[in-house]
Amino acid sequence: MKRKLLILLSSFLLLLLAFWAYQLATRIDAPQRPTGTQAIAPDRDNANANQGLDLHVEMRDNQGRLQAVYDWPEWEKISDDRYRVTEPRVVLYREKGQRIYVWADSGVVQAERMARGYNIRSGTLFGRTSRSVKIFFDNSTDPDRKPPLERTEDEMRRQMIRFFTDRIDFDNQQLLIQTDSPVQMLSNQADVDGRGLHITWNEVPRELRRLRIDHGQRMVMYNVSDRDDPFSLGLSNPQPASAPAGLAASRPGPAETQPAPAGEDEPPAAASRPAEAPDGPRRPTSAPEVASRPAPPPAPAKRALAKPAFQRKNVYLAEFYENVRVRSGPRSLDGADKLTMEFEWAGQAENLFEGGRGSSATRPAVAPVAPAATPSTLPAAGPSDDAAAAPSPVAAPPSAPPGRPASAPATRPATRPVDRTVTITWSGPMVLTPIRYVPDPARGNYLVAGEGPKVVLKDDRNTAICRSFVMERHRDDPGKTSGARMKGQLLGTREQPARLLMDNTQEVACEDIKFDRIVQRAWLTGPGYMLQTHQGDKASTRPASRPARPAPDAVDRISWSDRVIVAFGVAPPREGQNRPSEYIQRVQLYGDVKLVQNLAAGPVPTSLPAKSDFVQSERMTIQFQRDDKTGEVSPQYAYAAGQARARQENTAISADLLGVSFARPQPTQKKPEPTTRRSARVQTVKAKPGLLKAEGNVVVVDSRDPGQPLRAVADQIISDPTKRTALLTGSDVRISQGPNVLSGTHVRLEEAGQVAFVTGPGSLDFLTDKDLNGARLSKPRPIRITWADSMDYAGTRNSAIFTGEVKLRSQTDQMDCRQMQVIFERTEPSTRPAKARPAATGPAKASVASSRPADRGPLAMAEYSSRRLSMILADGQVVLQTRRADEQQHLLRRVQLACEKLIYNAGAAQVDIVGGGTMLSEDYRPPQPKSKSAARTARPDDALSGNVDSPSQTAFRWAKSLCYMQEQRSINMDGDVLMVHRSGDQVVLADQVNRPDWPQPLPAGRRSEITCDRLLARFAEPPKPATRPATKPASRPATAPADDLDLGPRLGPLKLFHATGQVNMRDGTRQVLAQRLVYDRSTELDLAIIWGYLPGQPEADAHIYEEDPDKGTSRSWSSPKIIWDRKNDTITADKATGGGGR
């Protein structure tokens, strides 16, 4: 990312105009004004003549050192101080041996006569062609150098800067050199073509004031190396302190001065809002303001410090205007109205404005030059106008610049680098101005800026589009990073943001893009977006010339409204590389961050598509990791904070904070596309999520089953997609799908065993189509189970185990116990072929063998869903209760069963109780008034016959076991069985329950009691309840029962009553003592058969006793077998004995 953000602009930072601008600005120096005896005329006798031949003028300083030589083959006096000259030739001698040569076809000069010669004040040089006026700046210091025109073209390129024009005006009084004609500059570093040249300078201190080309055409710079590119990833770049020791030792500056990257364990930076983005690079100084500012007075010299009398400005500002274009190999700049560069010039030793000569100890004094010596220092004539002109600079290609040989001669040094050429074209002015002084200038310090309505910067892979850009590089000490600045900035507007198009697959757009290479950061300020285009997973076979961009398959888009901060890391060179590489270390995004995946190709929608995959939050942080062996960079973790939302396929999640860690990707082998001819396999890597963490108001919704979406709510979710596990914690964790709900405070889910384990209290809700007594319901009834300690559900065993104060509630049914195991019906595997199952749709409720991992939710939470109750195993203080209340919540009926161990088989409709227990049936409905006819025929309350008046209470107790089978409507109790029945005014403890009001006094009731060893009771079908008025069409009859308790364990009238072993029954005034009692109402006969012995045992008598306290009488019957006709109230006995009395 850093390289893609910055390398686009690297070529434009290579506009290091110092190596030509300084030469252009400072080497066009008028000769210094004479002080003392400076001009020598060869013929004093003709001093007052009006014309002459071979005028030779030498200018020397007070020490007699030669400064300039003027040769005029012909001259003519125009006025008192004006002269016309023909083919003037001038040589200016500089401090360390450099020289300036001037030729022209003719000229007019203004000269002031002095005691020993002339002082030339101003003048104009003319040429017959655009290349006739020539100014050569010879930088060679070799005293035995060849004359300029005897050198080869390559030697002139390397040693000289050459100017060509057809006219030039100079004024030593106004300190001005100018021309309105075309000008051309040729040098080894750059060629320049333009029209109109204006140069002004200051005399004290002697320095350039301003250089201006009125109309630019083209500038070609040669040998621009990537070593001078401030955005190249070379060893000279600042490195973070975390780089390996070998790398830190190879770069200048101590490692501890480098900014250290954040550690891998550092908390996510998205959790807090950072400070404002730091200031970007400086904006360049305005040239008009600098030009209008007077030069500062020279500072007073301090002899003790030996400081110079003045400080010459060495920071320059170059500005190009109108239609600025730059070409540098595959890189280009277009659309700029203005291109500005501010740079430092470190070549003080080559400053041709510095006055004075070298020391006499190193260079002999120069004597006055005689006319005979002139040919050795100045050509007799300038370059011939008849010579073949050099190729036009505009038509010459960069590889063959004008006047430059196509191949280097043998004299060219073998170490000369072959680097690219930079070409700048513009149509407006170009202005160069010195703006300030710095004590230690460095060639690598500069500032570049460009602006325009649409500035486009390109390289071979990337494009930047902006309204303006600025890049700054500065180091106080080139050997250290302290105090260094390497900054850049791209600017756009809200309507036209700055855009980066990278590698035909990525696009970044933002109003303000800043980067700082020293601190390894980039800042994107203001609303923006990034696009990632997917073009299929194919092997790259791109040829050298880039083909047209193929149609994209899908687009990922990430947008923000506030800012983005990018941190970069530096990796040591890999094998075969000679420099470190940069990679993205962290990205932080702020303000309504939206990441949308897999958008269809075409215009990007402004709102989120209904079924697109996305991540949205207020803040987002992404940390990356790098594999030192392969060099691959992949995500390490990502955090989204602040109302975070995400959707992947059909699963959506929302939370205050979303975090994803990624496993380090492993390379996989992929076969090449069949259309390619490559036989080698391609190494590809793909980062896989290693851990998902969501915190704060977490909600997960899996909508693959539109009818019953899966929903999970928690304070925190930690999911491991590789292990297919999830941990949900919080004060109220809820996992729901339709009527199925699992809740708790600590829920662990494992897909491998379809495990859901809840630690601590929780609840489970699901549906059942049978009540707790096995009776099939007209419609499914919800069941809710709560617990205090834990719940362990395993789909492989199709059961859930609950421990600790377990409570089951289902409308009128409820069960309490210490531990409960619920077994669900096993679902049948899906028989549909895999191709018929749409991807990521349908509920994940099949068994492991029939369901693929990709078809399940990311948290594996749906395995328990849509299960039907099959069996319940309850243990420890089991209490099963069925109750019904009226609208005022008055208790009407209640059946309660208590035991230590209960087994409920819903499939067999059977309840088994192991061990002793009790059962209580209560009816607190008010007594129903009877008509006179009904009262006459009514039989007294009789628990044995089922003729029970309300209110009533019936209690059972047993010691060994109980088995209740709903299909046979039978109850079998074993072991010390006791049954007690009370009704009417015999009911006890009635005032301790919330019952309806009863009329007072209650009718007379009865108290019945039976004890035996075993008791079997069978019941007839219950009478059909009255139906409510139908509210549905007649085709669908109403089946809802009138009594809600009919949905519970309601039995019909007693059909068979069989008590065996030590039978003792008290019913009203009668008492039965026997070993066996059978009461069968399956026929119209209402008979009770009583035996005094059990089958296989010796005969013994059974006894019936009757006492009437009101009459004071008693009777008894004894016989081995007694038949009691309850309908006619008669007793028949074989071998009977009896008695009675008052």
Q: What is the pLDDT of residues 769-813, one digit of tens each?
A: 666 655 666 777 788 889 999 999 887 888 889 999 999 888 778
Can you give the pLDDT at residue 1126? 75
- pLDDT surpasses 90 at 740: no
Give CA–CA dist 10/207, Å, rounded. Answer: 31
Can you give the pLDDT at residue 761? 92
Element holding 217 (H helix, E strand): strand 206-224
**More reliable by pLDDT, 121 or 682:** 121
Quick one: average pLDDT of 723-736? 89
Q: What is the pLDDT of residues 141-195, one digit of tens each?
A: 888 888 888 888 888 888 888 889 999 898 877 788 889 999 988 888 788 899 9
CB atoms within 10 A of CB 669: 8
pTM beyond 0.85: no
Split at pLDDT 50, 70, 90, the class of 1012 is: very high
Quick one: average pLDDT of 296-309? 43
Which among 489, 486, 488, 490 has a CA at the least distance from the CA of 473?
Answer: 486
Domain ranges in the chain are 18-228, 520-537+550-669+683-702, 710-829+842-881, 942-1025+1041-1141
Can you give the pLDDT at residue 910? 86
- For the ranges 492-501, 704-713, 766-775, the lowest mean pLDDT is seen at 766-775
Element holding 243 (H helix, E strand): none
Residues contacting 1033, CB < 8 A, separation 6+? none
Cis peptide leading into residue 296 (ω within 30°): no
CATH code of 942-1025+1041-1141, in short, is: 2.60.450.10
- pLDDT surpasses 50 at 34: no
- For the ranges 621-635, 775-789, 1031-1045, the lowest mean pLDDT is seen at 1031-1045
> Is the backbone of residue 724 left (phi > 0), alpha (psi -120 to 50) or beta?
left
3-class secondary structure, 521: strand
Can you give the pLDDT at residue 610? 60
Q: What is the pLDDT of residues 472-483, one digit of tens each?
A: 877 666 555 555
Cα angle 981, 987, 988; round to 5: 110
CA distances to 18, 157, 622, 623 from 614, in Å: 51, 61, 15, 19
**More reliable by pLDDT, 389 or 1100:** 1100
**According to the CATH classification, is domain 520-537+550-669+683-702 in 1.10.3470?**
no
- pLDDT surpasses 60 at 378: no
- Residue 683, class by beta-carbon neighbours within 10 Å (0-12 exposed, 13-18 middle, 19+ buried)? exposed
- Alpha-carbon dihedral of residues 215, 181, 135, 444, nearest 10 degrees? 0
Can you give the pLDDT at residue 145? 87
Give CA–CA dist 186/416, Å, rounded. Answer: 19
Split at pLDDT 50, 70, 90, the class of 106 is: very high
Can you give the pLDDT at residue 387? 36
Q: Pull the structure tokens for residue 1024.
A: 């059909």
CB atoms within 10 A of CB 327: 19
CATH code of 18-228, in short, is: 2.60.450.10
Give CA–CA dist 331/812, Å, rounded. Answer: 81
Class of domain 710-829+842-881: mainly beta
- pLDDT surpasses 50 at 1123: yes
**More reliable by pLDDT, 144 or 249:** 144
Residues contacting 618, CB < 8 A, separation 6+? 590, 591, 592, 593, 641, 642, 643, 644
DSSP letter (8 states) at residue 561? S
Split at pLDDT 50, 70, 90, the class of 843 is: very low
> Is the backbone of residue 1127 left (phi > 0), alpha (psi -120 to 50) or beta?
alpha
Can you give the pLDDT at residue 504? 66
Can you give the pLDDT at residue 386? 36
End-to-end CA distance of the chain: 115
Distance of CA 98 to the CA centre of its chain: 61
Give CA–CA dist 608/1048, Å, rounded. Answer: 51
CB 777, CB 771: distance < 8 Å? yes
Cis peptide leading into residue 284 (ω within 30°): no
**How many residues comprise the chain?**
1142
Q: What is the mean pLDDT of the chain?
A: 71
- pLDDT surpasses 50 at 359: no
Split at pLDDT 50, 70, 90, the class of 393 is: very low
- Alpha-carbon dihedral of residues 737, 741, 745, 748, nearest 10 degrees? -60
Element holding 120 (H helix, E strand): strand 117-126
Highest mean pLDDT among 391-405, 537-551, 628-642: 628-642
In the chain, how many H helices and how many E strands? Answer: 8, 58
Split at pLDDT 50, 70, 90, the class of 715 is: very high
Q: What is the pLDDT of residues 311-334, one digit of tens each?
A: 778 888 889 999 999 888 888 889
3-class secondary structure, 986: helix
Give CA–CA dist 885/1043, Å, rounded. Answer: 10
Can you give the pLDDT at residue 25? 30
Quick one: average pLDDT of 835-854? 33
Split at pLDDT 50, 70, 90, the class of 921 is: confident
CB 1054, CB 943: distance < 8 Å? no
Quick one: average pLDDT of 1036-1056? 49
Q: Do domains 520-537+550-669+683-702 and 942-1025+1041-1141 have the same CATH topology?
A: yes
Split at pLDDT 50, 70, 90, the class of 665 is: low
